[in-house]
Amino acid sequence: MGLAHQALSQEDVRSLKGDRGIGHVRYSTVGTSSAENAQPVVMSTNFGDIALAHNGEIVNAGRLREDLKKKGWAFATTSDSEIIIRLLANDIADTGDPARSIRNVMSLMNGSYSITLMVDDRVFAVRDPYGIRPLCIGRTKEGFAAASESVVFDTLGGEFMRDVEPGELVEILPGEVKSINTGLARGRAHCMFEWVYIARADSCLDGRLVYDVRRKIGRRLAIEQPVDVDVVVPVPDSGRSHSMGYAEQSGIPYSEGLMKNRYVERTFIMPEQTDRSTSVMLKLNPLKSVIKDKRIALVDDSIVRGTTMRKIVQLVRNAGAKEVHVRIGSPPIRTPCYFGIDMKTRDQFAATGRTVDQIAEMLTADSLGYISVEGLVEAIGHSANDLCLGCLTGEYPLPVEGEKIRFQKKLDSFT
Amino acid sequence: MGLAHQALSQEDVRSLKGDRGIGHVRYSTVGTSSAENAQPVVMSTNFGDIALAHNGEIVNAGRLREDLKKKGWAFATTSDSEIIIRLLANDIADTGDPARSIRNVMSLMNGSYSITLMVDDRVFAVRDPYGIRPLCIGRTKEGFAAASESVVFDTLGGEFMRDVEPGELVEILPGEVKSINTGLARGRAHCMFEWVYIARADSCLDGRLVYDVRRKIGRRLAIEQPVDVDVVVPVPDSGRSHSMGYAEQSGIPYSEGLMKNRYVERTFIMPEQTDRSTSVMLKLNPLKSVIKDKRIALVDDSIVRGTTMRKIVQLVRNAGAKEVHVRIGSPPIRTPCYFGIDMKTRDQFAATGRTVDQIAEMLTADSLGYISVEGLVEAIGHSANDLCLGCLTGEYPLPVEGEKIRFQKKLDSFT
Amino acid sequence: MGLAHQALSQEDVRSLKGDRGIGHVRYSTVGTSSAENAQPVVMSTNFGDIALAHNGEIVNAGRLREDLKKKGWAFATTSDSEIIIRLLANDIADTGDPARSIRNVMSLMNGSYSITLMVDDRVFAVRDPYGIRPLCIGRTKEGFAAASESVVFDTLGGEFMRDVEPGELVEILPGEVKSINTGLARGRAHCMFEWVYIARADSCLDGRLVYDVRRKIGRRLAIEQPVDVDVVVPVPDSGRSHSMGYAEQSGIPYSEGLMKNRYVERTFIMPEQTDRSTSVMLKLNPLKSVIKDKRIALVDDSIVRGTTMRKIVQLVRNAGAKEVHVRIGSPPIRTPCYFGIDMKTRDQFAATGRTVDQIAEMLTADSLGYISVEGLVEAIGHSANDLCLGCLTGEYPLPVEGEKIRFQKKLDSFT
Amino acid sequence: MGLAHQALSQEDVRSLKGDRGIGHVRYSTVGTSSAENAQPVVMSTNFGDIALAHNGEIVNAGRLREDLKKKGWAFATTSDSEIIIRLLANDIADTGDPARSIRNVMSLMNGSYSITLMVDDRVFAVRDPYGIRPLCIGRTKEGFAAASESVVFDTLGGEFMRDVEPGELVEILPGEVKSINTGLARGRAHCMFEWVYIARADSCLDGRLVYDVRRKIGRRLAIEQPVDVDVVVPVPDSGRSHSMGYAEQSGIPYSEGLMKNRYVERTFIMPEQTDRSTSVMLKLNPLKSVIKDKRIALVDDSIVRGTTMRKIVQLVRNAGAKEVHVRIGSPPIRTPCYFGIDMKTRDQFAATGRTVDQIAEMLTADSLGYISVEGLVEAIGHSANDLCLGCLTGEYPLPVEGEKIRFQKKLDSFT
């Protein structure tokens, strides 16, 4: 529990033996945040221990769990990972072949999953059939590794090799990374929100450096949603790269007008709504010399609930801004995410049931401009068909109960 | 982890809701001592949560686990309890009847087990077919309860009702305790060591008050193993009741000649051999005015390894005793216990491969006398056939691989 | 904070360097129980660090502190020890001689004090002019040491040498213990409560083994306060030695009729009155086979508030005793202690404003008998003039504001 | 110990009573980092408790302590604050007037000190005679407050009122802030490093917004130390404002080319040299798309040891930079700070005994340019005489043993 350096002491790390392993840094989206749901989950089987770490969300996990309970299974945790490990152990008992059984269990799971796992001393990494969540492989002096973001390899003094393909299973071996075709690939549906907000700016995901994408989003936003202001001010740290692109394209001066308190963590991480809103004042401080008597373009990556942005607009206005115009590096989020981002209900979104003007009014902003879906897609540089835009369009790459599925035909052609 | 008042704060206890539950205070004999093996174990099933707490030891647990792993099961813990819960969940999926399924799972388990469990909101308690470990039921103002020792009810201001019978399953209901005959009873084989050492002196187990049994043991020991000494000195606290009986019968004055340091806990609880022996000096202090120039009968309940007793004999001798005679309230322990006491290998016992005289020599005692098996049995007051004397005789009530089974014929007549 | 083994880890102890030192295990009677008042107190001076640990109570500490504050002193703690160290540092600045300055500071302090202290690398131990609290010196393989109770040397595998005399200052040197006559000795006034209750039974204080004193008290009590009962039952653990003496003298059988829960600590240690009374039921359990239908002599060392004894009497009666007679190994406590025992106000005592019969009624006992002051003094074996009996007689060896002083003349002759 | 939110729980804060108080967030420069040196220090005196929190460093503290020890004082801590409180208590015993005594103690202290203190229920704040460390007063809905940085009032939803003047003593009263002239003012010598590095960018110190000063430093640096490069890259977060000024002035594009790991804290805070250097790689990651094949101007606020900057230069070079030019927003630091910054010895500085070219070589940079002292002074906007530039020039505003003092004459005219 807690940040990695709190959960694992230097001594803990030093006491680790062996030459392979898996680990997980997670913020919980499914299953309660408790020690029993910490990852990796490890279970003992006839083929040795199986350990598994999972990023993403299995849409049909609840269904799978209920079906298995009806068969008489008892579950020790509420995590998807226990389901996966136990299905896997069951299947290996038949096949005797971990790789084949991983493929068999993948065919039962509907959802997003970038998984690293060990079966006894064998290390695997696997990405879901649409590649919704990122997963890549790299090389360090000590050997090969798989990770969600490429910056890991930079930090370790190693280098990024390539992304794991959708539906691809790889085995990390001492001298090589072996690719295993599962035959389950279903095209691409990379989550656009990784580039917009989640990933670190210096990561490269599916061929696109996050920083470059954000800067291009900013430039495109300046073209689509121009505004006559004196200064472009980013919401730190999430809106910084977008803002720079906006300033470059528009020629309007860029200036850091909101200072972050060094010792308060990112809003998204806090567990409860209350904490999120009340902490804005503690976290950001306006620079009057930048803001006072100026017309401001305030740039951020996205608006979910809108409560934080509303407070920031008021903060800027109270600091003496003449006008506050909000520009956002993603289109309005209107529909839930079922694939790993903690946005589960429609009624939480600022954009639900509001026009852009109404959202601007709610934010108390003088104007509000979102990038278009087309603009975002172009900035990312993948075809719209290769992205998951479910939270923007309400059309999802995978069947989700009660939601629309997109390009049904394409799916058929895959089967 | 830790003592109950360390593991559970006042706040933890106050925050508990509901009107029923189970708990467990355990010192681990099978499975490593770690948080994952803490009890009760709770798992989620199609019939609600199943929670289970287990005192005793399933002899065929390893076999059961391996068989289940071969079928493709993966285990989250190394505890017997996970095996039992999951077998139970599987069986209830067939029968739909928790009580019947508990009986079915009991028929698969060979060993000693006093178990309390909840299936959803139903509370059960069950004792193994030989009643090896104790289990009893009582009543408090709040309702009924089951526990290993009757003192629990005294402490709660309630009263002891009766022992659970061997092979009996009871369900604790709001207004009654319902008895369910499993048809699995196989006679009695109560562990003699509960009366000799484990249970609290003020507990009443299977109709015998522990204190009375210990005092009778002491009296019988004085008859079987008389000695001409000036004073009877108990090894505190384990030998106190036996000593009083010895002094009463022999007419020799009783005197506390070894003082316990108030803040050091009982030897048996410490996890490693090293700690056990080095801590004797810290824990006991001889009273020279009692011991000096006297002939001493030093009385304790039992000798397992003999290392502690050897140190105590030397302590007493160094305090100026003229003679030190050791008298022990149980016969020599020569064979392992497979039913819940942490004595697993023959080579650890002082009595292995030694005559009584040789043990006395090893202890550096002037003489050594054990009570006979017959004497012990008489003091307990149950028939020898109704006790488990496996660690004394090497004949066990249940089949254990590589060990002799006792009264095979009797078993047949039960079937 | 906490017990020694909680406050100091094995690592902490191993990391200690050097060949001399002082330590303190304390339960706070003056000053709040907080980390800042933990002992030893260490302060840095022109003569190196001074460290000081103090058992006892300085009656005029408040006066000294106020006087010093008026002179402009500021105090970091509420402990007497800070006052003593700082007076000492001031005095050494004049004398340049730690021993002489210790003597000078002693002459300012009125009260009980057994003190160990270090001035730079010199180790001293000093006992107040009346020797109220115990202090003794002993020898181990590693060298010499001073301690409150002689059992310390037993536990360390060393041996007791002698008591420190009232008003004596000793310096612990590598090869010897040097005695320094302060000229401040004022006779003896050893606290009788050390023998009755506080000290461990196996300690020898001022020439009297505590166990022997308690046994003699029991015998004398049997003569002074006989009773026709079936069995003598001790209140464990405090009344055990007294009870044995009572049983021996009277010829009435001795039996342990109250069992202690192993994991609950001694009443006196709990910080608040509420906890003290409510925990009796959790801590003691009556043995019905010993008590039922019997006439009981219940023996304990002393009665302070009487609330605990009242609960025990009721516990015994509820267990079926026909009669419950209470016998107490000290006379009624009626007046406060100003010298280190936490009994500060008259209105807390069971004996305040009650006859013995009224106390018996309050305890719900069939009869109550205390040992006489003469009997106690005889059992201890020192002259009454050499004991502090202040809490029994209301006459104190030292001047205390608002209280009577005893043998004024004798004091004069000392001056 | 630890960050404020670790040391003080929500409950701790909620449990505070009363309507006034002082607190301290400190990183220790004098005295070891231990609980006993945590601030505020509180001591009990004849005038009530005195509590004191101190930012800065008393140059003659060691001398004062030794003098007082010679007089017989004993010290409980190694902190300057204990000295100050106790001198104060002594003085109030004479004057009976806290304000006058604060003035008297100030006259004994040589060094930098911004102090908040309480004498019983009176709250004072005082700044040293040169105003070396910052101190200001502000107003919130609840009342008045003093703090080191003005952002505190922003965060509390209040407003900055004014700086406390050098040598000024203020008393915070319920309805007003009362100014008391101590007559000790000696001119101004504000630490330039507060604007360059220490203070938050959104603080306003002695009339200058830190952010504006840093931006002006960047512009001036671009004029003094131009370079022909493709992009200006800041060292985050310390060099960001300086970089923006540099980019604006030079017209060279600004780009964030080094990404900070979100969960690693600022170098300066880590306690040991080893940790400082090894953690650079973990904390910063180069953005290849910004850096590769480019000529880079790397801008930071200052160079102390140079070890971190050397690693960053190599990081940037390894990321493919064609050229790496380092530009620094302060002149070379060559002499120690005695007034509160942890730079105590000459041999630690990169600039000691090296020409600028030699430093560049040590850093493995293609070129290195520092701002001039004149340029820095101009950017700050105070007269050089009103700043402490001791670490740059080796001339200090106050007498320090073994160091040169500046403008001796001016000092005389003050006296």
Length of chain B: 415
Candidates B209, B201, B216, B254; CA nearest to B232 is B254
| Predicted local distance difference test score (pLDDT) of residue C8 | 74
Candidates A247, A265, A238, A22; CA nearest to A124 is A22
Residue A40 has φ and ψ, to the nearest 5°, of: -65, 150
Q: Strand pairing partners for B125?
A: B116, B170
The tokens describing A340, both together, are 């790993």
CATH of domain D4-187: 3.60.20.10
Q: Of A202, A254, A256, which has the smallest distance from its Cβ to D287's Cβ?
A: A202
CA of B93: which chain A residue's CA is closest? A72
| Predicted local distance difference test score (pLDDT) of residue B410 | 46
- The residue-averaged pLDDT of C225-229 equals 98
Cis peptide before D342 (omega within 30 of 0): no
Chain centroid to CA A91: how far?
30
C201 to B157: CB separation less than 8 angstroms, yes or no: no
Q: What is the pLDDT of residues B308-341, one digit of tens each?
A: 999 999 999 999 999 999 999 999 999 999 999 9
| Predicted local distance difference test score (pLDDT) of residue D250 | 96
| Predicted local distance difference test score (pLDDT) of residue C156 | 79
Q: Percentage of residues in chain B with pLDDT exceeding 70?
A: 89
Pick the more confident residue, A194 or C263.
Answer: A194
Cβ atoms of D51 and D60 within 8 Å: the answer is: no
Q: How many CA atoms lie within 13 A of D11 on its CB side?
A: 0
Any A CB within 8 A of D261 CB:
yes
Q: What is the pLDDT of residues C4-20, one digit of tens each?
A: 766 777 777 778 889 99
User: In angstroms, rounded to a whole number, what is the distance separating the alpha carbons of residues C343 and C308?
Assistant: 15
Q: What is the pLDDT of residues D1-50, one digit of tens each?
A: 666 766 777 777 778 889 999 998 876 544 455 666 688 999 999 999 99
Residue D271 pLDDT grade (very low, low, confident, very high; cuts 50, 70, 90): very low
Q: What is the pLDDT of residues A22-40, one digit of tens each?
A: 998 876 544 455 666 688 9
Q: What is the pLDDT of residues C287-330, one digit of tens each?
A: 988 999 999 999 999 999 999 999 999 999 999 999 999 999 99
Crossing angle of helices A80-95 and A98-106, rounded to 10°: 130
Residue C142 pLDDT grade (very low, low, confident, very high; cuts 50, 70, 90): confident
Helix (H) or strand (E) holding C56: strand C48-58
A40: closest CA of chain B, how far (Å): 12
- Which of D151, D202, D212 is the best residue to mutate to test the A interface, defined by the most A CB atoms within 10 Å of its own CB? D202
Residues 280-299 of C with CB under 8 A from B: 281-282, 285-290
Residue D101 has φ and ψ, to the nearest 5°, of: -70, -35
| Predicted local distance difference test score (pLDDT) of residue B158 | 86
- Which of C13, C202, C211 is the best residue to mutate to test the B interface, defined by the most B CB atoms within 10 Å of its own CB? C202
| Predicted local distance difference test score (pLDDT) of residue D262 | 61
The percent helix, strand, coil of chain D (3-state, each to 5) is 35, 25, 40
Q: What is the largest CA-CA distance in chain B?
A: 73
Is the pLDDT at D171 greater than 90? The verdict is yes
Pick the more confident residue, C394 or D415.
Answer: C394
**Tokens 């009273």, residue?**
B287
Cβ atoms of D349 and D334 within 8 Å: the answer is: yes
Any D CB within 8 A of A32 CB:
no
ipTM over 0.95: no
| Predicted local distance difference test score (pLDDT) of residue C321 | 97
The per-residue DSSP string of D16-76 comes to: --SS---------SSS-SSGGG-SSEEEEEBTEEEEEEEEEEETTHHHHHHHHHHTT--BS
Query: Domain D210-393 falls in which CATH fold?
Result: Rossmann fold (3.40.50)
A86 to B75: CB separation less than 8 angstroms, yes or no: no
- The residue-averaged pLDDT of C172-199 equals 95
| Predicted local distance difference test score (pLDDT) of residue C279 | 58
Chain centroid to CA B339: how far?
9
Q: What chains are in contact with D, requiring at least 3 Cβ pairs below 8 Å?
A: A, C
Mean pLDDT by 10 residues, chain A (415 residues): 70 84 72 66 95 95 96 93 96 96 97 96 97 96 93 85 97 95 94 95 94 97 98 94 95 91 45 46 83 97 95 94 98 96 90 95 98 98 96 94 74 39
Residue-range domain boundaries for chain A: 4-187, 210-393
| Predicted local distance difference test score (pLDDT) of residue D411 | 41
| Predicted local distance difference test score (pLDDT) of residue D118 | 97
**From the CA atom positions of chain D, what is the Rg in Å?**
23
Please measure the distance between the N-terminal and C-terminal CA atoms of chain C and give it in whole angstroms. Answer: 42
Annotate A197-232 with b (16+ C-beta within 10 A) or e (fewer). Answer: bbbbbbbbbbebbbbbbbbbbbbbbbeebbbebbbb
A86: closest CA of chain D, how far (Å): 34
Is the pLDDT at B409 greater than 60? The verdict is no
Q: What is the pLDDT of residues C75-118, one digit of tens each?
A: 999 889 999 999 999 999 999 999 999 999 999 999 999 999 99
Q: What is the pLDDT of residues B126-168, one digit of tens each?
A: 999 999 999 999 998 889 999 999 988 887 878 999 999 999 9
User: In angstroms, rounded to a whole number, what is the distance separating the alpha carbons of residues C32 and A315?
Assistant: 47
Pick the more confident residue, B51 or A1.
Answer: B51
* Cβ-Cβ contacts under 8 Å, B87 against chain A: none
| Predicted local distance difference test score (pLDDT) of residue A14 | 79
User: Which of the 8 DSSP states describes residue B132?
Assistant: -
Q: Do chains B and D meet with 3 or more Cβ pairs nearer than 8 Å?
A: no
The tokens describing D301, both together, are 């606020």
- Flag the least confident range among B88-92, B330-334, B371-375, D411-415: D411-415
User: In angstroms, rounded to a whole number, what is the distance separating the alpha carbons of residues B230 and B34?
Assistant: 48
In this complex, how many residue pairs, one in chain A and one in chain B, have their CB atoms less than 8 Å apart?
Answer: 75
pTM equals 0.82
Any B CB within 8 A of A70 CB:
yes
B266 to C262: CB separation less than 8 angstroms, yes or no: yes
The per-residue DSSP string of B164-196 comes to: PPTTEEEEE-SS-EEEEE-S------EEHHIII
Q: What is the pLDDT of residues B220-251, one digit of tens each?
A: 999 999 999 999 999 988 999 999 999 999 99
User: In angstroms, rounded to a whole number, what is the distance separating the alpha carbons of residues C325 and C227?
Assistant: 8
In this complex, how many residue pairs, one in chain A and one in chain D, have their CB atoms less than 8 Å apart?
Answer: 78
| Predicted local distance difference test score (pLDDT) of residue C293 | 97
| Predicted local distance difference test score (pLDDT) of residue D152 | 87
| Predicted local distance difference test score (pLDDT) of residue B34 | 61
Residue B180 pLDDT grade (very low, low, confident, very high; cuts 50, 70, 90): very high
- Which of D1, D42, D46 is the best residue to mutate to test the C interface, defined by the most C CB atoms within 10 Å of its own CB? D46
| Predicted local distance difference test score (pLDDT) of residue B263 | 55
Q: Parallel, antiparallel, or unpaired: how do β-strands C190-191 and C41-45 relate?
A: unpaired
| Predicted local distance difference test score (pLDDT) of residue D158 | 87
| Predicted local distance difference test score (pLDDT) of residue D33 | 53
* Cβ-Cβ contacts under 8 Å, A240 against chain D: 256
Q: What is the mean pLDDT of chain D?
A: 89
Any B CB within 8 A of A7 CB:
no
- Flag the least confident range among B45-59, B256-270, C227-241: B256-270
Helix (H) or strand (E) holding D140: strand D136-140
